[in-house]
């Protein structure tokens, strides 16, 4: 081979190395997280609410209208109810229509990857790529349990972008740009969590005023107030207007019912877990390095921590937003200013190649993998039996509500806790645990229940097997079905211990 030919090969190899080297870390991270989320397959479908989220989205597409009253339950028919996540639900329904169950998984994976890649992109402006990547990886691991095909994951990148806009304004001692307002409007149509974005305007305004010169504070305060009012107005740019704000309030008014819903329960520290390890590590680093924050930033971090400790669903809020709040103060204390690099022409070719590679890998995997929702909350055979018996008033737990809506059967309760209210949710969940047997039996009569659908491990199964008037007509590893039958006697006699005490 000639020297010129060798030089040509070397030049091409050098161009390839340059293109690969110029691909930003956040893109590698985002593409990798996206592919891993898709490869995780059914993990994103391990939530019963995905069923009714898609069903609502399909209802909106079919009717070209948005729901204003409940059309799915027999316990709250016609009650006022709005879908504050209507846009996300439509996107999930459209994705399902295009690609089956692979569609919602891919869509959710895009939202997840975009949020954590954006976090890494922002952190890379303040820290070395390796340090920024470590933080992004820890944030991903700590919040992975909530990576589900539900509206909140589509809102995560919007949340990060919105809060970064507030952080940047506060860091620069100025008011936020009004170009941020479309983000809060988009967030308000994707998920009810947009109220957090509105609530964060005030503490960031306080932080900006705290650090500003005294002669600028009045003018700056007026600018922040104008932005806050505009943000509230922008969040009302939904088909429901200001009612979207009221819908978020209804969830917070659930009171004691929240303590019975797993994702609204506080973090359990009885066993050492990833969150506790991460929290203790963060505290240790702060004590070791002597991190100093302004009082408003301290209050922001403590507020985010309180949210995560109070409700496990807020862990991803803490791990996504706390690094944004801390980034500039920590960089000012410990890190030299990072220099953002813009890829050259060959670098952009590398970026396009990574995106294309992620797309090809996803398509190849999706074409072969049998995506399907969570098995325990999909009682297919039991529902067919209920349909055959023409059951219409079925008592069941909220875990089965999503699939019943999907199957076209009226539900007793489902994941829309704000529709049912605190008292009803508490009574229903207590009935499932037989905290008061009399209340459970009264509930069956009050709502004229003609069938019961339970998981095999549910406590009422033991009662109904011994209760006259109820006949077991189906049982498998997912569900047990009982039908009201006045002529039925209990299927089993209670077993009695030797000392004569019934078990």
Residue-wise pLDDT for 389-401, tens only, equals 999 999 998 889 9
**How far, in Å, CA of 77 to CA of 319, rounded?**
39
Burial of 261 (0-12, 13-18, 19+ CB in 10 A): middle
pLDDT band (50, 70, 90) for residue 492: low
Q: Is the pLDDT of residue 502 over 70?
A: no
**Which residues have a Cβ under 8 Å from the Cβ of 271 and sit 6 or more positions away?**
none
Kindly report, residue by residue over 120-167, the tens digit of the pLDDT: 999 999 998 899 999 999 999 999 989 999 999 999 999 999 999 999
**How far, in Å, CA of 450 to CA of 440, rounded?**
14
- Mean pLDDT for 17-29 is 72
Note the Cα 236 to chain centre separation in Å. 22
What's the pTM? 0.90
Which residue do the tokens 């097997």 mark?
465
The single-letter DSSP state of residue 215 is G
pLDDT band (50, 70, 90) for residue 352: confident
- 128 sits in which H/E element: none
Q: Is the pLDDT of residue 14 over 70?
A: no
Q: Is the pLDDT of residue 344 over 70?
A: no
Q: What pLDDT is attached to residue 483? A: 94
Average pLDDT, the chain: 87
Q: Is the pLDDT of residue 491 over 70?
A: no
Three-state secondary-structure class, residue 482: strand
Q: What pLDDT is attached to residue 495? A: 46
- CB neighbourhood size of 159 (10 A): 26
Q: What pLDDT is attached to residue 21? A: 55
- Minimum mean pLDDT range among 2-6, 19-23, 292-296, 454-458: 2-6
**How far, in Å, CA of 144 to CA of 312, rounded?**
12
Kindly report, residue by residue over 249-285, the tens digit of the pLDDT: 777 777 777 777 878 888 888 888 888 998 999 889 8
**How far, in Å, CA of 198 to CA of 166, rounded?**
11
Kindly report, residue by residue over 305-327, the tens digit of the pLDDT: 999 999 888 999 999 999 999 99
């Amino acid at each position: 081979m000639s020297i010129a030919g060798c030089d040509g090969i070397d030049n091409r190899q050098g161009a390839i190395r340059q293109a690969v080297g110029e691909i930003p870390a956040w893109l590698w991270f985002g593409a990798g997280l996206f592919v891993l989320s898709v490869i995780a397959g059914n993990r994103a479908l391990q939530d019963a609410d995905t069923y009714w989220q898609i069903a609502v989205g399909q209802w909106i597409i079919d009717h070209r209208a948005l729901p204003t009253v409940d059309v799915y339950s027999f316990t709250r028919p016609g009650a006022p109810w709005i879908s504050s996540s209507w846009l996300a639900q439509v996107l999930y329904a459209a994705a399902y229509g295009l690609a089956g169950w692979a569609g919602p998984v891919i869509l959710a994976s895009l939202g997840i990857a975009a949020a954590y890649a954006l976090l890494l992109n922002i952190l890379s402006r303040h820290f070395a790529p390796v340090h920024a990547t470590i933080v992004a990886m820890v944030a991903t691991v700590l919040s992975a349990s909530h990576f589900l095909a539900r509206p909140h994951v589509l809102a995560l990148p919007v949340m990060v972008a919105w809060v970064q806009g507030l952080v940047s304004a506060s860091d620069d001692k100025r008011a936020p740009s009004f170009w941020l307002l479309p983000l809060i409007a988009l967030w308000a149509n994707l998920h009810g969590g947009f109220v957090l974005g509105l609530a964060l305007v005030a503490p960031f305004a306080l932080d900006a005023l705290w650090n500003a010169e005294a002669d600028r504070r009045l003018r700056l305060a007026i600018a922040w107030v104008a932005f806050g009012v505009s943000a509230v107005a922008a969040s009302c740019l939904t088909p429901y207007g200001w009612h979207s704000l009221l819908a978020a309030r209804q969830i917070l008014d659930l009171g004691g019912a929240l303590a019975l819903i797993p994702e609204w329960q506080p973090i359990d520290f009885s066993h050492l877990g990833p969150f506790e390890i991460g929290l203790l590590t963060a505290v240790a680093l702060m004590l070791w390095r002597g991190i100093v924050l302004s009082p408003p930033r301290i209050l922001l971090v403590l507020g985010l921590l309180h949210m995560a400790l109070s409700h496990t669903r807020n862990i991803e809020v803490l791990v996504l937003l706390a690094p944004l709040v801390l980034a500039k103060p920590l960089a000012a204390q410990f890190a030299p200013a990072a220099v953002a690099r813009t890829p050259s022409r060959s670098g952009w070719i590398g970026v396009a190649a990574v995106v294309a590679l992620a797309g090809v890998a996803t398509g190849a995997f999706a074409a072969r993998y049998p995506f399907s929702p969570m098995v325990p909350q999909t009682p297919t055979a039991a529902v067919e039996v209920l349909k055959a018996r023409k059951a219409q008033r079925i008592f069941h737990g909220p875990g089965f509500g999503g699939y019943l809506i999907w199957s076209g059967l009226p539900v007793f309760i489902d994941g829309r806790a704000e529709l049912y209210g605190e008292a009803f949710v508490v009574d229903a969940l207590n009935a499932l645990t037989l905290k008061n047997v009399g209340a459970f039996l009264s509930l069956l009569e009050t709502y004229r229940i003609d069938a019961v659908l339970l998981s095999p491990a549910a406590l009422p199964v033991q009662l109904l097997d011994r209760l006259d008037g109820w006949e077991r007509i189906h049982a498998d590893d997912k569900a047990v079905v009982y039908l009201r039958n006045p002529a039925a006697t209990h299927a089993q006699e209670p077993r009695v211990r030797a000392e004569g005490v019934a078990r």
